[in-house]
Structure 1
């Protein structure tokens, strides 16, 4: 289990270099997706702890002057095999959104991440107490070019690609949210080792 209180503590140069790297990678994902290019779907052993920690670190650029507590736990002793390209992107996007859309008005903003891995699948659950999404907008969350908040940054396609990547791996994604309360995302991804 890990818990980090994120606050912006990186130098301007590190922040710029991180932003350039991240945007180049994101644009590459987008170009491949829009051009129908299938990424390398090689299967590798995934170090879940490493991927989660990297995604949390990358999300610091969205903190601003606030703080948010990000905690995670990994349960299960099975090894998890999947596509690292998809896993990295999914973790980055979901954690980025949890951090970006935290609620500055709440005394203790948080994002809790729980991963449970067994021989058949990885279950990932994200729960936050962020700004949430109004009921009348939830059906649009996975639509391309969708911005549902003035806090939105980027291209409005992150969750579209997350859903597509999860489905490309024969997985499922479930989303629930309430305005002013927060969001809850569950993702199930088959363990390629099981096949």
Structure 2
């Protein structure tokens, strides 16, 4: 448990200190990489995964930071899947336009009660005993996205599932190169 806490804190510090320049990102490829990191857990839990991405324009962002945020949300969707459901799923929907990038991570897991939903991004908040973490992951998601000029929100229904909405501005080529 202490090792997990140290790992989570280290990852949080690492992601908050990254000042890498924004780069061109293929959102579908990035989502695929994150899901590949969890492929064994997904297979063990027998979760069907769907990815749908609409990207007809270039996307510029700090890929490594966004990857940290997306990984925490996907990890939670896996961890809080509902073993009582015959068909478990995670759906990742991405959309990129000239001004923004949005990613929805939708699952039919155990969901959250309203009181949990309002506190889930608070540091050290754990909404259930099923939580294996220390209440750091979703706080990191919020912090990372806010540092990138974005946001995260959640809508959840207890025993039905959750929908996390991640939003970021799409940096222009000029912004990505640091020019005004």
Structure 2 segments unaligned to the other structure (5+ residues): 176-180
Give the superposition deviation at 1:86: 1.3
Runs of 4+ in 1 over 6 A off after TM superposition: 22-25
Q: Which has the higher contact order (CA 8 A, sep 6+)?
A: 2
Confirm or deny that 1:166 pairs with 2:145: yes
Say which of 103, 125, 128 aligns to 1:146. 125
Give the superposition deviation at 1:29: 2.3
Superposed, 1:69-80 pairs within 5 Å as 69-80=48-59
How many pairs are equivalent?
Answer: 172
Give the superposition deviation at 1:47: 2.3
Give the superposition deviation at 1:140: 1.2
Give the superposition deviation at 1:154: 2.7
Partner of 1:9: none
Partner of 2:45: 66
Asked whether the equivalents of residues 63 and 100 of structure 1 are also in contact (C-alpha less than 8 Å), the reply is no
Partner of 1:47: 26
- Aligned partners of 2:87, 2:138: CA distance in 1, in Å? 25
Structure 1 segments unaligned to the other structure (5+ residues): 1-19
Superposed, 1:1-195 pairs within 5 Å as 26-32=8-14, 38-63=17-42, 65-193=44-172, 195=175
Give the superposition deviation at 1:136: 2.0
- RMSD (Å) for aligned C-alpha atoms: 2.4
With normalisation by structure 2, the TM-score equals: 0.85
Give the superposition deviation at 1:26: 4.5
- Aligned partners of 1:70, 1:64: CA distance in 2, in Å? 10
- Aligned partners of 1:172, 1:105: CA distance in 2, in Å? 32
The C-alpha deviation readout for 1:16-43, integer Å capped at 9, x for no partner, is xxxx9x999755323447xxx6322411
With normalisation by structure 1, the TM-score equals: 0.79
